[in-house]
Protein backbone atom coordinates (compact mmCIF):
# COMPACT_ATOMS: atom_id res chain seq x y z
CA UNK A 1 0.00 0.00 0.00
CA UNK A 2 1.22 3.46 -0.71
CA UNK A 3 0.43 7.08 -1.35
CA UNK A 4 0.43 6.36 -5.08
CA UNK A 5 -2.11 3.63 -4.67
CA UNK A 6 -4.36 5.92 -2.64
CA UNK A 7 -4.03 8.59 -5.35
CA UNK A 8 -4.91 6.11 -8.11
CA UNK A 9 -7.90 4.80 -6.18
CA UNK A 10 -9.06 8.38 -5.53
CA UNK A 11 -9.01 9.03 -9.29
CA UNK A 12 -11.00 5.88 -9.99
CA UNK A 13 -13.61 6.63 -7.29
CA UNK A 14 -14.00 10.39 -7.71
CA UNK A 15 -13.29 10.68 -11.45
CA UNK A 16 -10.50 13.28 -11.16
CA UNK A 17 -6.99 13.48 -9.72
CA UNK A 18 -6.56 14.29 -6.02
CA UNK A 19 -4.77 17.43 -4.86
CA UNK A 20 -2.57 15.53 -2.44
CA UNK A 21 -2.22 12.54 -0.10
CA UNK A 22 -1.80 12.79 3.67
CA UNK A 23 -0.97 9.94 6.06
CA UNK A 24 -1.21 9.30 9.80
CA UNK A 25 -0.04 6.27 11.80
CA UNK A 26 -1.66 3.98 14.32
CA UNK A 27 0.02 3.83 17.74
CA UNK A 28 0.85 1.54 20.62
CA UNK A 29 1.25 2.68 24.17
CA UNK A 30 4.54 1.41 25.63
CA UNK A 31 3.40 2.07 29.20
CA UNK A 32 0.95 4.28 31.12
CA UNK A 33 -2.50 2.67 30.88
CA UNK A 34 -5.63 4.37 32.22
CA UNK A 35 -3.33 7.10 33.47
CA UNK A 36 -4.45 9.66 30.88
CA UNK A 37 -8.00 9.74 32.24
CA UNK A 38 -6.46 10.46 35.66
CA UNK A 39 -4.44 13.46 34.39
CA UNK A 40 -1.27 11.32 34.43
CA UNK A 41 1.45 10.21 32.03
CA UNK A 42 1.41 8.03 28.93
CA UNK A 43 4.14 6.87 26.57
CA UNK A 44 2.89 5.95 23.10
CA UNK A 45 4.87 5.60 19.90
CA UNK A 46 3.73 5.67 16.29
CA UNK A 47 3.49 2.40 14.40
CA UNK A 48 4.96 2.12 10.93
CA UNK A 49 1.40 1.28 9.82
CA UNK A 50 -0.37 4.18 8.13
CA UNK A 51 -3.79 5.39 7.07
CA UNK A 52 -3.73 7.43 3.85
CA UNK A 53 -6.25 10.08 2.87
CA UNK A 54 -6.18 11.24 -0.76
CA UNK A 55 -8.24 14.39 -1.08
CA UNK A 56 -9.43 17.29 -3.19
CA UNK A 57 -11.22 20.46 -2.07
CA UNK A 58 -14.75 21.32 -3.18
CA UNK A 59 -16.54 24.64 -3.06
CA UNK A 60 -20.15 23.39 -3.24
CA UNK A 61 -20.45 22.20 0.37
CA UNK A 62 -20.47 18.51 -0.56
CA UNK A 63 -18.40 16.05 1.47
CA UNK A 64 -17.90 12.79 -0.43
CA UNK A 65 -16.22 10.13 1.69
CA UNK A 66 -14.94 6.81 0.38
CA UNK A 67 -12.83 4.09 2.00
CA UNK A 68 -11.29 1.00 0.43
CA UNK A 69 -12.33 -0.81 3.63
CA UNK A 70 -15.98 0.25 3.56
CA UNK A 71 -18.97 0.14 1.22
CA UNK A 72 -20.26 2.88 -1.08
CA UNK A 73 -19.24 6.51 -0.63
CA UNK A 74 -21.07 8.62 1.92
CA UNK A 75 -22.37 11.93 0.54
CA UNK A 76 -22.93 14.65 3.08
CA UNK A 77 -23.41 18.39 3.24
CA UNK A 78 -20.75 20.07 5.42
CA UNK A 79 -23.20 22.80 6.39
CA UNK A 80 -25.60 20.30 7.92
CA UNK A 81 -23.29 18.05 9.91
CA UNK A 82 -24.46 17.40 13.47
CA UNK A 83 -23.37 14.90 16.14
CA UNK A 84 -25.29 11.64 15.96
CA UNK A 85 -26.51 12.14 12.38
CA UNK A 86 -23.82 10.24 10.46
CA UNK A 87 -23.85 6.45 10.89
CA UNK A 88 -20.90 4.10 10.54
CA UNK A 89 -17.29 4.80 9.65
CA UNK A 90 -18.04 8.08 7.81
CA UNK A 91 -18.71 9.70 11.21
CA UNK A 92 -14.94 9.81 11.85
CA UNK A 93 -13.90 11.95 8.83
CA UNK A 94 -17.22 13.86 8.85
CA UNK A 95 -16.67 14.59 12.55
CA UNK A 96 -13.29 16.10 11.75
CA UNK A 97 -14.83 18.42 9.12
CA UNK A 98 -17.52 19.32 11.68
CA UNK A 99 -14.96 20.04 14.43
CA UNK A 100 -12.87 22.23 12.09
CA UNK A 101 -15.92 24.20 11.02
CA UNK A 102 -17.14 24.54 14.61
CA UNK A 103 -13.72 26.03 15.42
CA UNK A 104 -14.31 28.64 12.73
CA UNK A 105 -12.31 27.17 9.85
CA UNK A 106 -13.78 27.56 6.37
CA UNK A 107 -14.15 24.02 5.08
CA UNK A 108 -16.32 24.27 1.94
CA UNK A 109 -16.47 20.58 1.03
CA UNK A 110 -14.09 17.86 -0.12
CA UNK A 111 -13.73 14.52 -1.85
CA UNK A 112 -11.80 11.94 0.19
CA UNK A 113 -10.55 8.43 -0.40
CA UNK A 114 -9.12 6.37 2.51
CA UNK A 115 -6.69 3.43 2.43
CA UNK A 116 -5.27 1.89 5.58
CA UNK A 117 -2.92 -0.77 6.83
CA UNK A 118 -3.69 -0.09 10.53
CA UNK A 119 -5.69 -3.07 11.82
CA UNK A 120 -9.11 -1.71 12.85
CA UNK A 121 -10.48 -2.48 16.31
CA UNK A 122 -7.18 -3.99 17.52
CA UNK A 123 -6.45 -1.27 20.08
CA UNK A 124 -3.90 0.26 17.68
CA UNK A 125 -5.98 3.37 17.09
CA UNK A 126 -7.10 3.09 13.51
CA UNK A 127 -9.78 5.61 14.46
CA UNK A 128 -7.22 8.26 15.47
CA UNK A 129 -5.15 7.52 12.35
CA UNK A 130 -8.23 8.14 10.20
CA UNK A 131 -9.16 11.32 12.07
CA UNK A 132 -5.67 12.79 12.09
CA UNK A 133 -5.00 11.98 8.42
CA UNK A 134 -8.34 13.63 7.57
CA UNK A 135 -7.56 16.67 9.73
CA UNK A 136 -4.14 17.08 8.11
CA UNK A 137 -5.66 16.68 4.63
CA UNK A 138 -8.31 19.35 5.27
CA UNK A 139 -5.67 21.59 6.85
CA UNK A 140 -3.57 21.23 3.69
CA UNK A 141 -6.45 21.62 1.21
CA UNK A 142 -7.71 24.80 2.87
CA UNK A 143 -4.32 26.25 3.88
CA UNK A 144 -5.31 26.44 7.56
CA UNK A 145 -1.74 26.17 8.88
CA UNK A 146 -2.84 24.55 12.14
CA UNK A 147 -0.16 23.11 14.43
CA UNK A 148 -0.13 19.35 15.09
CA UNK A 149 -1.37 19.54 18.70
CA UNK A 150 -4.31 21.68 17.60
CA UNK A 151 -5.19 19.24 14.80
CA UNK A 152 -5.02 16.43 17.37
CA UNK A 153 -7.32 18.35 19.73
CA UNK A 154 -9.89 18.83 16.98
CA UNK A 155 -9.61 15.16 15.96
CA UNK A 156 -10.26 14.15 19.58
CA UNK A 157 -13.24 16.51 19.67
CA UNK A 158 -14.57 14.75 16.55
CA UNK A 159 -14.32 11.34 18.24
CA UNK A 160 -15.75 12.54 21.59
CA UNK A 161 -18.54 14.82 20.46
CA UNK A 162 -19.39 13.70 16.91
CA UNK A 163 -18.74 9.93 16.91
CA UNK A 164 -19.60 9.70 20.62
CA UNK A 165 -16.56 7.78 21.95
CA UNK A 166 -15.24 9.18 25.26
CA UNK A 167 -11.52 8.64 24.56
CA UNK A 168 -8.69 10.63 26.13
CA UNK A 169 -6.20 12.79 24.23
CA UNK A 170 -3.44 10.22 23.83
CA UNK A 171 -4.38 8.54 20.54
CA UNK A 172 -4.76 11.63 18.40
CA UNK A 173 -1.71 13.36 19.90
CA UNK A 174 0.39 10.24 19.32
CA UNK A 175 -0.72 9.94 15.70
CA UNK A 176 -0.16 13.66 15.07
CA UNK A 177 2.97 14.38 17.11
CA UNK A 178 5.17 11.27 17.38
CA UNK A 179 8.59 11.36 15.75
CA UNK A 180 10.65 8.60 14.19
CA UNK A 181 12.77 6.63 16.68
CA UNK A 182 11.07 8.09 19.78
CA UNK A 183 8.36 7.40 22.29
CA UNK A 184 6.24 10.40 23.18
CA UNK A 185 5.95 11.09 26.87
CA UNK A 186 2.72 12.99 27.27
CA UNK A 187 1.41 14.71 30.37
CA UNK A 188 -2.35 14.30 30.03
CA UNK A 189 -3.03 17.25 32.35
CA UNK A 190 -1.32 20.07 30.47
CA UNK A 191 -0.61 18.08 27.27
CA UNK A 192 3.10 18.93 27.49
CA UNK A 193 5.20 16.50 25.46
CA UNK A 194 8.72 15.12 25.49
CA UNK A 195 10.27 13.01 22.74
CA UNK A 196 12.39 10.24 24.27
CA UNK A 197 14.74 8.25 22.03
CA UNK A 198 13.60 4.62 21.77
CA UNK A 199 15.41 2.42 19.29
CA UNK A 200 15.09 -1.20 20.47
CA UNK A 201 17.05 -2.50 17.49
CA UNK A 202 20.13 -0.45 18.40
CA UNK A 203 20.11 -2.33 21.73
CA UNK A 204 19.76 -5.74 20.10
CA UNK A 205 16.04 -5.86 20.99
CA UNK A 206 12.74 -6.12 19.17
CA UNK A 207 9.37 -4.80 20.24
CA UNK A 208 6.58 -7.14 19.21
CA UNK A 209 2.90 -6.30 18.99
CA UNK A 210 0.52 -9.21 19.57
CA UNK A 211 -2.95 -8.49 18.22
CA UNK A 212 -5.13 -11.08 19.97
CA UNK A 213 -7.93 -10.47 17.44
CA UNK A 214 -10.53 -10.61 20.17
CA UNK A 215 -12.73 -7.81 21.49
CA UNK A 216 -14.83 -8.89 24.45
CA UNK A 217 -18.09 -7.23 25.26
CA UNK A 218 -17.77 -5.65 28.67
CA UNK A 219 -20.94 -6.39 30.53
CA UNK A 220 -20.32 -4.19 33.57
CA UNK A 221 -19.85 -0.88 31.76
CA UNK A 222 -16.14 -1.50 32.25
CA UNK A 223 -14.62 1.75 31.02
CA UNK A 224 -17.16 4.19 32.45
CA UNK A 225 -17.36 2.36 35.79
CA UNK A 226 -13.61 2.45 36.32
CA UNK A 227 -13.39 6.08 35.27
CA UNK A 228 -16.14 6.97 37.73
CA UNK A 229 -14.38 4.92 40.43
CA UNK A 230 -11.15 6.86 39.90
CA UNK A 231 -13.03 10.15 40.13
CA UNK A 232 -14.79 9.05 43.32
CA UNK A 233 -11.45 8.01 44.84
CA UNK A 234 -9.87 11.36 43.94
CA UNK A 235 -12.80 13.17 45.59
CA UNK A 236 -12.52 11.00 48.70
CA UNK A 237 -8.79 11.74 48.91
CA UNK A 238 -9.31 15.45 48.35
CA UNK A 239 -7.20 15.70 45.17
CA UNK A 240 -8.12 17.01 41.73
CA UNK A 241 -7.18 13.71 40.05
CA UNK A 242 -5.33 10.52 41.07
CA UNK A 243 -2.24 11.88 39.35
CA UNK A 244 -1.94 14.14 42.39
CA UNK A 245 -1.41 11.21 44.77
CA UNK A 246 2.41 10.93 45.01
CA UNK A 247 3.84 7.42 44.84
CA UNK A 248 5.44 7.82 48.27
CA UNK A 249 2.01 8.57 49.75
CA UNK A 250 0.29 5.54 48.24
CA UNK A 251 0.14 3.54 51.49
CA UNK A 252 -1.31 6.50 53.37
CA UNK A 253 -3.90 7.04 50.63
CA UNK A 254 -4.91 3.38 50.71
CA UNK A 255 -5.28 3.51 54.50
CA UNK A 256 -7.41 6.61 54.21
CA UNK A 257 -9.69 4.89 51.68
CA UNK A 258 -9.91 1.76 53.84
CA UNK A 259 -11.28 3.99 56.59
CA UNK A 260 -14.17 5.05 54.38
CA UNK A 261 -16.98 2.51 54.51
CA UNK A 262 -18.14 0.99 51.22
CA UNK A 263 -15.07 2.02 49.23
CA UNK A 264 -15.42 -1.27 47.31
CA UNK A 265 -12.73 -1.66 44.66
CA UNK A 266 -11.52 1.95 44.90
CA UNK A 267 -8.24 1.05 46.67
CA UNK A 268 -7.32 -1.33 43.84
CA UNK A 269 -8.07 1.34 41.22
CA UNK A 270 -5.94 3.87 43.11
CA UNK A 271 -3.10 1.38 43.50
CA UNK A 272 -3.04 0.78 39.75
CA UNK A 273 -3.10 4.44 38.73
CA UNK A 274 -0.49 5.58 41.25
CA UNK A 275 1.93 2.70 40.59
CA UNK A 276 1.40 3.00 36.82
CA UNK A 277 2.33 6.68 36.82
CA UNK A 278 5.41 5.70 38.80
CA UNK A 279 6.25 3.01 36.23
CA UNK A 280 6.11 5.62 33.47
CA UNK A 281 8.68 7.65 35.45
CA UNK A 282 10.84 4.55 35.84
CA UNK A 283 10.63 3.57 32.16
CA UNK A 284 11.49 7.16 31.23
CA UNK A 285 14.59 6.94 33.44
CA UNK A 286 15.60 3.59 31.86
CA UNK A 287 15.27 4.89 28.31
CA UNK A 288 17.05 8.15 29.08
CA UNK A 289 19.90 6.19 30.70
CA UNK A 290 20.13 3.99 27.58
CA UNK A 291 19.17 0.88 29.58
CA UNK A 292 16.26 -0.35 27.45
CA UNK A 293 16.45 -3.90 28.86
CA UNK A 294 15.63 -2.60 32.34
CA UNK A 295 12.24 -1.44 31.05
CA UNK A 296 11.17 -5.08 30.53
CA UNK A 297 10.21 -5.98 34.13
CA UNK A 298 8.38 -2.65 34.45
CA UNK A 299 6.17 -3.57 31.49
CA UNK A 300 5.40 -6.93 33.10
CA UNK A 301 4.61 -5.29 36.44
CA UNK A 302 2.26 -2.95 34.56
CA UNK A 303 0.44 -5.95 33.15
CA UNK A 304 0.02 -7.55 36.56
CA UNK A 305 -1.43 -4.30 37.87
CA UNK A 306 -3.92 -4.00 34.98
CA UNK A 307 -4.89 -7.65 35.42
CA UNK A 308 -5.17 -7.82 39.21
CA UNK A 309 -5.95 -4.28 40.36
CA UNK A 310 -7.64 -2.53 37.45
CA UNK A 311 -9.15 -5.80 36.16
CA UNK A 312 -9.23 -4.91 32.46
CA UNK A 313 -7.26 -7.84 31.03
CA UNK A 314 -8.76 -11.01 29.54
CA UNK A 315 -7.62 -14.63 29.11
CA UNK A 316 -6.14 -14.03 25.65
CA UNK A 317 -4.07 -11.01 26.79
CA UNK A 318 -2.90 -12.90 29.89
CA UNK A 319 -1.92 -15.85 27.74
CA UNK A 320 0.02 -13.64 25.30
CA UNK A 321 1.95 -12.17 28.23
CA UNK A 322 2.66 -15.44 30.09
CA UNK A 323 3.63 -17.27 26.88
CA UNK A 324 5.97 -14.44 25.84
CA UNK A 325 7.61 -14.29 29.27
CA UNK A 326 7.80 -18.09 29.39
CA UNK A 327 9.73 -18.02 26.11
CA UNK A 328 12.25 -15.60 27.60
CA UNK A 329 10.87 -12.18 26.66
CA UNK A 330 12.24 -9.34 28.79
CA UNK A 331 8.80 -7.89 29.46
CA UNK A 332 5.22 -7.95 28.21
CA UNK A 333 1.95 -6.18 28.88
CA UNK A 334 -1.48 -5.57 27.49
CA UNK A 335 -1.73 -2.18 25.80
CA UNK A 336 -4.80 -0.03 25.26
CA UNK A 337 -8.13 -0.29 27.03
CA UNK A 338 -8.01 -4.08 27.45
CA UNK A 339 -10.72 -6.77 27.24
CA UNK A 340 -8.98 -7.82 24.00
CA UNK A 341 -6.94 -5.86 21.51
CA UNK A 342 -3.17 -6.02 21.64
CA UNK A 343 -0.18 -6.70 23.89
CA UNK A 344 3.38 -5.39 23.56
CA UNK A 345 6.40 -7.60 24.16
CA UNK A 346 10.04 -6.58 24.55
CA UNK A 347 12.34 -9.40 23.44
CA UNK A 348 15.89 -10.04 22.37
CA UNK A 349 16.24 -9.55 18.62
CA UNK A 350 17.84 -12.95 17.96
CA UNK A 351 18.86 -16.12 19.78
CA UNK A 352 16.95 -18.85 21.63
CA UNK A 353 14.78 -16.25 23.42
CA UNK A 354 14.68 -13.94 20.42
CA UNK A 355 11.64 -12.31 18.85
CA UNK A 356 10.99 -15.17 16.39
CA UNK A 357 11.01 -17.77 19.18
CA UNK A 358 8.78 -15.61 21.37
CA UNK A 359 6.31 -15.00 18.54
CA UNK A 360 6.19 -18.72 17.86
CA UNK A 361 5.62 -19.54 21.52
CA UNK A 362 2.72 -17.10 21.71
CA UNK A 363 1.16 -18.50 18.54
CA UNK A 364 1.60 -22.05 19.85
CA UNK A 365 0.03 -21.16 23.18
CA UNK A 366 -3.00 -19.67 21.43
CA UNK A 367 -3.43 -22.81 19.32
CA UNK A 368 -3.08 -24.97 22.43
CA UNK A 369 -5.82 -23.00 24.20
CA UNK A 370 -8.10 -23.24 21.17
CA UNK A 371 -7.95 -19.48 20.41
CA UNK A 372 -7.87 -18.05 16.92
CA UNK A 373 -4.29 -17.35 15.79
CA UNK A 374 -2.97 -13.95 16.93
CA UNK A 375 -1.34 -11.48 14.56
CA UNK A 376 2.23 -10.88 15.75
CA UNK A 377 4.49 -8.27 14.20
CA UNK A 378 7.62 -6.30 15.05
CA UNK A 379 7.19 -2.55 15.39
CA UNK A 380 9.86 0.12 15.48
CA UNK A 381 8.77 3.65 16.48
CA UNK A 382 7.83 5.56 13.33
CA UNK A 383 7.00 9.13 12.36
CA UNK A 384 3.74 10.95 13.02
CA UNK A 385 1.27 12.35 10.50
CA UNK A 386 2.63 13.98 7.34
CA UNK A 387 1.89 14.86 3.73
CA UNK A 388 3.14 12.05 1.48
CA UNK A 389 2.16 13.18 -2.05
P1 LIG B 1 -9.25 1.23 17.02
O2 LIG B 1 -9.13 2.71 17.01
O3 LIG B 1 -8.62 0.59 18.22
O4 LIG B 1 -8.78 0.58 15.76
P5 LIG B 1 -12.03 1.88 17.12
O6 LIG B 1 -13.24 1.10 17.40
O7 LIG B 1 -11.76 3.08 17.95
O8 LIG B 1 -10.80 0.87 17.15
O9 LIG B 1 -12.07 2.39 15.62
C10 LIG B 1 -12.34 1.48 14.55
C11 LIG B 1 -13.35 2.12 13.61
O12 LIG B 1 -12.74 3.21 12.89
C13 LIG B 1 -13.83 1.19 12.52
O14 LIG B 1 -14.92 0.41 12.99
C15 LIG B 1 -14.25 2.16 11.44
O16 LIG B 1 -15.53 2.69 11.71
C17 LIG B 1 -13.24 3.26 11.58
N18 LIG B 1 -12.10 3.07 10.66
C19 LIG B 1 -10.82 2.86 10.98
N20 LIG B 1 -10.05 2.73 9.88
C21 LIG B 1 -10.88 2.84 8.82
C22 LIG B 1 -10.73 2.78 7.38
N23 LIG B 1 -9.55 2.57 6.82
N24 LIG B 1 -11.82 2.94 6.61
C25 LIG B 1 -13.03 3.15 7.17
N26 LIG B 1 -13.24 3.21 8.49
C27 LIG B 1 -12.19 3.06 9.31
MG1 LIG C 1 -9.97 4.03 18.45
Euclidean distance between CA atoms 280 and 244, whole angstroms:
15
Query: Do 139 and 7 belong together in one domain?
Result: yes
Query: Do 178 and 301 belong together in one domain?
Result: no
Query: Do 108 and 130 belong together in one domain?
Result: yes
pLDDT single digits (tens) 309-358: 999 999 999 999 999 999 999 999 999 999 999 999 999 999 999 999 99
Q: What is the pLDDT of residue 224?
A: 83
Q: Is 44 in the pocket of ligand 1 (CB under 6 A)?
A: no
Query: How many percent of the chain have pLDDT more than 70?
Result: 99
The larger pLDDT score, comparing residue 91 to residue 259, is at 91
pLDDT single digits (tens) 191-226: 999 999 999 999 999 999 999 999 987 766 788 889
CB count within 10 Å of CB 256 equals 18
Average pLDDT over residues 63-82: 96
Number of domains in the chain: 2
Q: What is the pLDDT of residue 220?
A: 62
CB count within 10 Å of CB 289 equals 9
Instruction: Provide the CATH number for the domain around residue 333.
Output: 3.30.70.890
Q: Is 120 in the pocket of ligand 1 (CB under 6 A)?
A: yes
Q: Atom 26 (ligand 1): residue with closest C-alpha?
A: 89
Query: Do 241 and 329 belong together in one domain?
Result: yes
Query: Do 207 and 184 belong together in one domain?
Result: no
Query: Do 181 and 330 belong together in one domain?
Result: no
59 Cα–ligand 2 center, Å: 31
Direct distance between the N- and C-terminal alpha carbons of the chain, in angstroms, rounded to an integer = 14
Query: Do 68 and 203 belong together in one domain?
Result: no
Query: How many percent of the chain have pLDDT more than 90?
Result: 92
Average pLDDT over residues 226-242: 96
* pLDDT confidence bin for 259, thresholds 50/70/90: confident
Identify the H or E element spanning 195: strand 193-197
Euclidean distance between CA atoms 231 and 38, whole angstroms:
8
The larger pLDDT score, comparing residue 220 to residue 4, is at 4
Average pLDDT over residues 252-274: 90
DSSP string, 90-131: GHHHHHHHHHHHHTT-----EEEEEEE-SPTTSSS-HHHHHH
Q: What is the pLDDT of residue 222?
A: 80
Q: Atom 27 (ligand 1): residue with closest C-alpha?
A: 89
Residues 23 and 52 sit within 8 Å (Cβ to Cβ) = yes
* pLDDT confidence bin for 86, thresholds 50/70/90: very high
126 Cα–ligand 2 center, Å: 6
Average pLDDT over residues 77-94: 97
Residues 210 and 380 sit within 8 Å (Cβ to Cβ) = no
Buried b (16+ CB within 10 A) or exposed e, 12-29: ebbeeebbbbbbbbbbbb
Q: Is 164 in the pocket of ligand 1 (CB under 6 A)?
A: no
Q: What is the pLDDT of residue 219?
A: 62
Q: What is the pLDDT of residue 33?
A: 97
Query: Do 235 and 314 belong together in one domain?
Result: yes
Query: Do 110 and 133 belong together in one domain?
Result: yes
Residue 72: pLDDT over 90: no
Closest by CA to 137, choosing from 173, 113, 118, 117, is: 113
Residue 38: pLDDT over 80: yes
Closest ligand by atom to 130 CA: 1
* Test site for ligand 1: of 74, 92, 120, 172, most ligand atoms within 8 A of the Cβ: 120
Q: What is the pLDDT of residue 71?
A: 83
Catalytic center residues = 171
92 Cα–ligand 2 center, Å: 10
60 Cα–ligand 2 center, Å: 31
Closest by CA to 267, choosing from 292, 236, 246, 301, is: 236
Average pLDDT over residues 266-290: 98
Q: Is 335 in the pocket of ligand 1 (CB under 6 A)?
A: no
Structural domain boundaries enclosing 361: 198-378
Q: What is the pLDDT of residue 316?
A: 98
31 CB-near residues (< 8 Å, 6+ apart): 42, 43, 276, 279, 280, 283, 295, 298, 299, 302, 333
If DSSP codes are grouped into helix, strand and coil, which group holds residue 164? coil
Closest by CA to 378, choosing from 330, 352, 344, 353, is: 344
Q: Atom 15 (ligand 1): residue with closest C-alpha?
A: 89
Euclidean distance between CA atoms 43 and 327, whole angstroms:
26
Looking at every residue in the chain, the average pLDDT score rounds to 96
Query: Do 191 and 257 belong together in one domain?
Result: no
Average pLDDT over residues 361-386: 97
Query: Do 127 and 190 belong together in one domain?
Result: yes
Euclidean distance between CA atoms 75 and 333, whole angstroms:
42
Q: Is 121 in the pocket of ligand 1 (CB under 6 A)?
A: yes
Q: Is 172 in the pocket of ligand 1 (CB under 6 A)?
A: no
Residues 247 and 211 sit within 8 Å (Cβ to Cβ) = no
pLDDT single digits (tens) 95-150: 999 999 999 999 999 999 999 999 999 999 999 999 999 999 999 999 999 999 99
Q: Is 130 in the pocket of ligand 1 (CB under 6 A)?
A: yes
Q: What is the pLDDT of residue 1?
A: 67
Residue 31: pLDDT over 80: yes
- DSSP code for 34: S
Phi, psi of 37 (to 5 degrees): -80, 0
Q: In a 10 Å sphere around its CB, with 0-12 CB exposed, 13-18 middle and 19+ buried, how is residue 166 labelled? A: exposed
In the chain, alpha helices (H): 3-14, 91-102, 126-141, 148-157, 170-177, 222-237, 250-258, 266-288, 295-308, 315-326, 355-368
Query: Do 8 and 111 belong together in one domain?
Result: yes
Amino acid sequence: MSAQRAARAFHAVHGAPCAGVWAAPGRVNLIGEYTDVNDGFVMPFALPHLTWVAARARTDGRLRLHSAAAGPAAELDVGHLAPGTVPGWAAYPAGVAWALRAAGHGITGADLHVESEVPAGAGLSSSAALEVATALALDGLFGLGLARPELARLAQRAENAFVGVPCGAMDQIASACCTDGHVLRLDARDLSRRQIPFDPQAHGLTLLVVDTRVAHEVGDGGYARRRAGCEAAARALGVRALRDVPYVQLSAALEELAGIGGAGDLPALVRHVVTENHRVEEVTACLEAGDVRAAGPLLSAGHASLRDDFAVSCPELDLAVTAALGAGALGARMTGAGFGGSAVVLAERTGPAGAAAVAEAVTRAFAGAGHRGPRVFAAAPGAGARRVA
